[in-house]
Each structure stands twice: as structure tokens, then as C-alpha cells.
Chain A
Amino acid sequence: MKLYAYCLCAGLDSFDNSVSGVSGATVRVLKIEDVSVLVSDCEVVAATQENMLAHAAVVRSVCTRTTPVPFRFGTLATEPQFRSFITGNKVAIANKLAHLAGCVEMDLKTVWQSSNSAPALPDPPAGPGTAFLREKRRELLGDESPAAQRAELSGLLSEELGDLVKEEKISLGASEKSPATKVFHLVEASKIKAYREKVQKLREKRPELQLEVSGPWPPYSFANIELELSHGSE
């Protein structure tokens, strides 16, 4: 039997079943050492809008009780595989839970243009599937984008927001079709109001940035446990 996983968290012993999981399944807490994993019994999950929203709703439902480390939609594994992953990455997971504790993700979108950006070389012709995957790859592998542009934007934002931001990730607008640059900020939940006020101040000061804010989100953009992940899963 496989388990569908929604998120990891600390200090959660039970789940309020007012929220259903993917395919209407009951959500339960699987305790592995000190880590709670929210799971449902599930063999295959259909990639429907309903199931994606159910995933988001389950993760969101625990946000007032704990800070979840959300799994990406579609994570299915057996209980021994989850046990192996968690025990094999014990330190990295503990560090991640501690780092994210009490924090939320706030997202900013801007149509900001770097003052020193060089025009990107056009991609060779491709079908719509390849074009979509190229764009996703650029978004996920943000390190392909020039570090100088990120530093410039980060500098602009930190004038107002710097002291409220615990961690920042920037995904530069990759193409004409997708010009908006996305900025993900990890912010303490108690500072959401202050963050919004400072974004508003920044909007007034720098209207050309055309900032749009959304959140709070569970910290999806800060969930991955880089490097350490490969050890526990083999």
C-alpha cells in the first residue's frame, strides 16, 4: 500500500478531519521519530484540479497549528520509503523544520527590468511541449539567470523589506510570454502585517516596480532539502 504525502511537520499528533485529502481520502498523521507526516492511503493519484486543491487545502489547514514543510503534489511512497527518507535525512529535516518554524511564504511579482540585462538569445524552434518544459526548467533552475540581476533586485527590495525577510529566492522573468519576476520571501508569521505595509510603502516609492503581493502561503518555495536529500533516498 502506498501513501500519498502532503507535508512534514513537527509537534502534530492528530489531524482535524474536516478537510479531505486527494480523491476524498481520509488524512492521518504518520509519526516517524519526532516528525509528523500527513498522509492518505492511496495507490495512484489523478492530476486533477480537485486533487491539487485538496493537497493545498490539507497543507493550509495545519498552518495555524504548526509550520508545514509541504511536499510537491503527487508524492507517493510506501511507509518504509518514508521511514528511510526521514531517518536518513534526520539532521537536514530537523534543521529545515527549525528554520521554517513560525514562518510563512510571501510572494511578490514585479515586471522590473534590470538596468544591465543583456537580451537573451532566442531558443531554437520547438513544439509547445518543449517550450513549456524549457520555461519550467528556467523557473526551477533559477541559477541559470545572471546573479547580478538578482542582486540588483534584491538590493532594491531590501531597502524597505530587508529586516523582515528571513530568506529570499528570486526567479527572474524568463521570456516575453512570462516577463514577471517572482520573489519569494520567508517571513515570520507575526510580521505579515508589517511586511504588507512595507510593500505598500515600496509601491508608493517605486511605482515602476508594479509590485503585486500574495500570501501568506505555506513555505512551498523553501521546502526543498537540498543536497542532503540524495543520501536518504537511495
Chain B
Amino acid sequence: MSDVDLIIDEWESTDVSLLETLDHVLSRGLVIAGEITISVADIDLIFVGLNVLVSSVETAHEVLRRRETE
């Protein structure tokens, strides 16, 4: 078996847990600075910045308004 076959076999045979998968996609990965909007049960949440600030849209808008007036 070649190295490439072994690697493909590793990926295909890996049994990863649901919890760990969700942890990876939600807590890690490349973040573009700026604004990302997602919704949970039709309520928008906004992630701002390089790391995580999770807030309601209303609170985020309030923070942005305060920054603009400062």
C-alpha cells in the first residue's frame, strides 16, 4: 500500500464524534475580520472581529452606534 493509499484509508476509516465535529466547525477555523451573520431559529446573531463576540443584533448595533459617536 502506498503512502497516498494509507492516507486515504485513514480519512475514510476515521470515526469522529458529532460533538467534536461541531466543536471544530464552531470554535476553530479561519475567521475573516468583519461581520458574519448567522441565524438561530430565525434570530440573527452577529459575530464580529477576529475572535468571538456573540451578541444579539440589537446589542451589536448599539455598540457600533456608541463607537461612531465617540
Contact = CB atoms under 8 A, between A and B. Distances in A.
B38 A52 contact: no
A156 interface: no
A3 to B, nearest CB: 12
Nearest to B4: A64
Contact of B38 (A45, A107, A136, A216): A45
Contacts, number: 127
Interface of chain B, helix or strand or loop or mixed?
mixed
Interface residues of B, number: 36
A224 interface: yes
A44 B37 contact: yes
The 9 lowest CB-CB distance pairs between A and B, nearest first, are A72-B29, A220-B28, A74-B38, A73-B25, A233-B33, A223-B30, A70-B29, A220-B24, A47-B40
Given A76-B37, A77-B34, A214-B16, 7 more contacts: A8-B30, A44-B38, A47-B45, A190-B6, A193-B6, A217-B16, A233-B33
Interface of B: 3, 6-8, 10-11, 14, 16-18, 20-22, 24-34, 36-40, 44-45, 47, 50-52, 54
